[in-house]
Homo-oligomer: A and B are copies of this chain.
Amino acid sequence: MANIAFIGLGNMGSPMAINLVKAGHQVCVFDLADEAVSKVVAAGAVTKKTAAECVQNAQFIISMLPAGKHVDAVYLTEKTGLINYIEPNSLVIDSSTIDAATSCKVAQALAQKKIGFVDAPVSGGVGGAVAGTLSFMVGGSLAEFEQASPILEAMGKNIFHAGEHGAGQIAKACNNMLLSILMIGTSEALQLGMANGLDPKVLSNIMSKSSGSNWTLDVYNPCPDVMDNVPSSNNYQGGFMVDLMAKDLGLAMETALASHSSTPLGALARSLYAMHANTGNGSKDFSSIFNVFNLPSK
């Protein structure tokens, strides 16, 4: 069992840290929100007054932070950044979803102090974090990937080695850009069929068994009452928020700009999700984009 420092106890970070505790690891947690800390400590973790103290004896440092600027600041701030406190040969696992450039910058800085790093963003949402069934897309050397894997297995079930530093972030950006396209395309197709008299359950069944098959149609249907236990059948509550999809699409677009890539459907998906968020739907599940294509009721 390992000594692990866990920085960032939001909706995702808290259950992830608890799963590490359950797996028998020694976990020292830190967050600015006392309430979040208390909850994880109640589950068996310890805490310290500062993140710096948390990381000092840790073999693994896991961070789950909102954006690249936070990751940069937490690790690399001159004098107070964690880079000054983490011990050589330990491994930083950053599970934040951020831009690959920041991942690479942090990895390089840590490497100069002989500290390992992997970027390991997740998919699977809060449900997957609680259930310990997250997917991790990992960027780092093969050695770093193998070092990280046993720890990640306590929190997830699919651990992918995407490539070198930053590749985990790139893989997640690509996947979520594609996911947004699947969701909008499925919504358009279902609405087009319904507008022309088809039953959405019948059409979903047909397309799902044909070449229109995709994750959003098959297991996360955006049309209310086609499936049970999906956000669309629960007023688009729960699931993966529009604001988070908009954020991930922003990262995908930054990636596309940097590589001069042409992504017409991805770019349009980003604008449609931004429009949807800007009209008051930011906290709904991302399948609510279905409603953008409603016809007027007769």
Taking Cβ atoms with an 8 Å cutoff, the residues of A that contact B are 100, 123, 135, 137, 158, 160-164, 166-167, 170-171, 173-179, 181-182, 184-186, 188-193, 195-199, 202-203, 205-207, 209-217, 220, 246, 250, 252-272, 274-275, 277-280, 292-296
Give me 12 other A-B pairs in contact (C-beta within 8 A), A174-B198, A279-B296 excluded.
A100-B196, A123-B210, A167-B198, A170-B192, A171-B198, A174-B190, A174-B203, A174-B212, A182-B182, A260-B278, A262-B278, A275-B292
Residues in B with CB closer than 8 Å to A266 are 185, 188-189, 192
A163 touches B197 (CB 8 A): yes
Q: Tell me the number of copies of this protein.
A: 4
Selected from B123, B182, B257, B296, the residue in CB contact (under 8 A) with A214 is B182
19 contacts between A and B (CB under 8 A): A100-B196, A137-B206, A158-B209, A160-B209, A162-B202, A163-B197, A182-B185, A185-B266, A188-B264, A191-B261, A192-B252, A211-B216, A214-B214, A261-B293, A262-B272, A263-B271, A265-B265, A265-B268, A267-B267
Measured CA separation A199–B253 after assembly (Å):
20
**CB <8 Å contact, A261 and B295:** yes
